[in-house]
Amino acid sequence: ETGVTQSPTHLIKTRGQQVTLRCSSQSGHNTVSWYQQALGQGPQFIFQYYREEENGRGNFPPRFSGLQFPNYSSELNVNALELDDSALYLCASSRQGMNTEAFFGQGTRLTVV
Amino acid sequence: AQSVTQLGSHVSVSEGALVLLRCNYSSSVPPYLFWYVQYPNQGLQLLLKYTSAATLVKGINGFEAEFKKSETSFHLTKPSAHMSDAAEYFCAVSVDTGANSKLTFGKGITLSVRP
């Protein structure tokens, strides 16, 4: 059983640029959620994807967008990067159903300069 | 809306001592509660979860937590700390019965273990 994998592990971008982060969900999981973890803070929920559609969103602006593919992998896109977007971005996969739990990837460290 | 409060940002214990990390939650509906651990430059690993079955939940690495509805608490304990327990610990709440991945996290507690 493969775990949740994210790529790249580290990334440096310039303010105003766009970035795409990728996540492969764990085998058997059909739901992917994305989180932003600023330094010294707890993760904050960005959005969730299920059946290739957004299924809930946190308090993040529209320049944060995502995709889910038929194989349940997912992308997080951030446009017009700002310095405050510097953070660890975590992907979590799970499956729909009672008594489930989310499994996290190791994250992508994004630095905006 | 739900929320989580983790009291104190840093806890330091001696190796072999009791570990107690506090978590209080707020939720308008019966919650699902989780404790995750994060080692430096790593993702989150699930320690244990409460999903309305037994109120005393046992997790990995000797950790356990007790759900107390009257106190809206879900404190994490371990009888004897080990050096390898040094990490960041996050309490989280979910009211998402779909996939339990719309989590609201606390700010985290850094656990240090002294030799």
Nearest to B43 among A42, A45, A90 (CB): A90
**Nearest C-alpha of chain A: how many angstroms from B105?**
6
The pair of structure tokens assigned to A104 is 């996290």
Label residue B41 exposed, middle or buried (CB < 10 Å: 0-12, 13-18, 19+).
exposed
The arithmetic mean of pLDDT across residues B99-103, rounded, is 75
Q: How far apart are CA B86 and CA B37, in angstroms?
A: 10
**B100 to A100: CB separation less than 8 angstroms, yes or no:** yes
- Residue A97 scores a pLDDT above 80: no
**A43 to B34: CB separation less than 8 angstroms, yes or no:** no
Confidence of residue B31 (pLDDT cuts 50, 70, 90): confident
Residues in chain B within 8 Å Cβ distance of A99: 51
- Residue A98 scores a pLDDT above 70: no
What are the tens digits of pLDDT across the range A29-82?
899 999 999 998 999 999 999 999 998 899 999 999 999 999 999 999 999 999
